[in-house]
Amino acid sequence: MARILSIDHIGLAVADGAAAAFWQALGLPCAGNEAVESEAVSVAFFPVGATRLELLEPLGVEGAVQKFLANRGEGVHHLCFAVDDLRGLLAQLTAAGVELVNAEPRPGAEGSLVAFIHPRAAHGVLVELRQHGSPHEPTAGSDERIF
């Protein structure tokens, strides 16, 4: 039985650098950022104790985060849980009839594998599942990355 280990990060959709300045003013240092071109987003991490904030800033007019901002404005975009067995958990969820955005793990940042649960299945919350340092090789969509 796959297990949820922790809240890995909280994803926040932001319009521009003003959000990063706010969190830094609160005393949270930025631990790094990277552009994820395939998702048209720039990602910045702000560690908070055992978890992190993940700021998602659109790189252009395309992409899911820009669409989110246009529809809903800045705010909480997703919750990410660290899991010990992503494939196992996806199989459990599929068997339980839970609607997934990604039925197969996708390569994420830092050598992780990730998959998203559809917010329709999670009562309005976009849920990211993340397995750190997975020994599994990515399969479908291995050229793509997701935040």
Candidate ranges 19-27, 30-38, 60-68, 122-130; the one touching Co ion (CB under 5 A): 122-130
Q: Which of 10, 128, 129, 131 binds Co ion (CB under 5 A)?
A: 128
Question: Largest Cα–Cα distance of the chain, in whole Å?
Answer: 45
Rule CB under 5 A: is residue 80 a binding residue for Co ion? yes
Cα-based angle 142, 81, 8 (whole degrees, multiple of 5)? 95
Residue type, 127: V
Can you say whether the dihedral through the CA atoms of 36, 112, 33, 67 is positive or negative?
positive
Candidate ranges 5-13, 81-89, 115-123, 137-145; the one touching Co ion (CB under 5 A): 5-13
- Comparing CB distances to Co ion, the nearer of 13 and 93 is 13
**Alpha carbons 104 and 85: distance in angstroms, whole number:** 12
**Alpha carbons 56 and 111: distance in angstroms, whole number:** 19
- Comparing CB distances to Co ion, the nearer of 9 and 95 is 9
- Comparing CB distances to Co ion, the nearer of 39 and 128 is 128
Nearest-CB residue for Co ion = 11
Q: Are 44 and 32 contacting, i.e. CB atoms less than 8 angstroms apart? A: yes
CB of 77 to Co ion, least distance (A): 8
For Co ion, the binding residues (CB under 5 A) are 11, 54, 80, 128, 147
